[in-house]
Amino acid sequence: MQHSEYKIVVLSRNKTLYSTKRLVEAIELRGHEALVLDHLKCDLVIEQNRPSITYKGEPVTGVDAVIPRIGASVTFYGAAVVRQFEMMKVPTVIESQALVRSRDKLRSLQILARSTVGMPKTVFTNYSKETKTIIDSVGGAPLIVKLLEGTQGYGVVLAPTQKAAESIIEAFHSMKARVIVQEFIKEAKGADIRAFVVNNKVVGAMKRQGRAGEFRSNLHQGGSGTPIKLTKQEREAALTAARAMNLAVAGVDLLQSDRGPLVLEVNSSPGLQGIEQTTKKDIASEIVKYVEMLVESSQKLKNNRRKIKPRG
């Protein structure tokens, strides 16, 4: 199907990043114009009925769609830029509200717990002194302690024994660091699954294995990836988790456990490098195809509104 040329903005702070480069390539290969904007350099002009964005002093106009690639450390401003595009009636691959929600680990877990997906048992407290009760609630040691703000496997600690767990939790609490305490899934053997979801379809999946002696499987932590065919249950869990978080594009991390797949996390800005190089699939093009669909739906809606004239 032939699409007219669209102007698609990729919000990214670095043009040379693999994910940004691949999205630009895919946009151009499908006959569209790609524009990379650093969201931190966007100024938001907030005016009644006339929201606009300027970039390095120039107005940003004629944009058909936005692909946000917002890093965790700049979620607040990045989400504000996405929200401004939404106010300008520009369709965006990730909605600002879903972006903010996905970055709040605690809120994400609460939303996922309401859906039908399996999850590791998790406890969050307000610096509680009841350390033993917390540990018992997730089935005792070994267990995982995670910083609420951690990403890419940083701020994740395995406590192998009851004593170690008590010490780690108390140390974090004494520093007023907010943590979640999570059940350790031994049978996962330091591996997890990253399922890449685009528009309610799993377009690629890989199994990530932590290096020897390492329980974290993140590729940033030296883990390795291999392509994997998901079971029906794993596929359903990934799609249900992405839908629950209202994310059309998401990286869903799952653990294989004796009680079925368990959802660890849903990432709203998943990297393309690991999944594309491991699965040899063109995930960037899948995202751009979804963008085309978004723009077409948006344009149809605008045309229908024009046709419905108010009665006078």
Residue 152 C-beta-side C-alpha neighbours within 13 Å: 11
Provide CB contacts within 8 A for 256, sequence distance 6+: 187, 188, 191, 193, 234
Q: Residue 225: what pLDDT?
A: 85
Among residues of the chain, what percentage have pLDDT more than 90?
A: 75
How far is CA 232 from its chain centroid? Answer: 22
Please compute the mean of the pLDDT values over residues 244-248 and round it to a whole number: 97
Where in the chain are the domains? 7-94, 102-117+187-268, 122-184
Quick check: 309 pLDDT over 50?
yes
Q: Dihedral through CA 23, CA 28, CA 31, CA 34, nearest 10?
A: 80
- What is the CB neighbour count within 10 angstroms for residue 143? 27
pTM over 0.75: yes
Q: Which fold has domain 7-94?
A: Rossmann fold (3.40.50)
pLDDT digits (tens, 9 = 90+) for 200-235: 999 999 999 876 655 555 555 556 789 999 999 999
Q: Residue 69: what pLDDT?
A: 97
Under CATH, which number does the domain 122-184 receive?
3.30.1490.20
Under CATH, which number does the domain 102-117+187-268 receive?
3.30.470.20
Provide CB contacts within 8 A for 54, sequence distance 6+: 42, 43, 45, 60
CA nearest neighbour of 252 among 141, 124, 65, 117: 117
pLDDT digits (tens, 9 = 90+) for 254-290: 999 999 999 999 999 999 999 999 999 999 999 999 9
- Pairing mode, strands 52-55 and 7-11: unpaired
Element (H, E) at 182: strand 179-183
On average, the pLDDT of the chain sits at: 91
Whole-number Å distance between alpha carbons of 5 and 32: 5
Q: Residue 1: what pLDDT?
A: 47
- Do 122-184 and 7-94 have the same topology in CATH? no
Contact in structure between 33 and 5 (CB atoms under 8 Å): yes
Q: Residue 70: what pLDDT?
A: 95
Q: Residues 159, 165, 170, 171: is their CA dihedral positive or negative?
A: negative
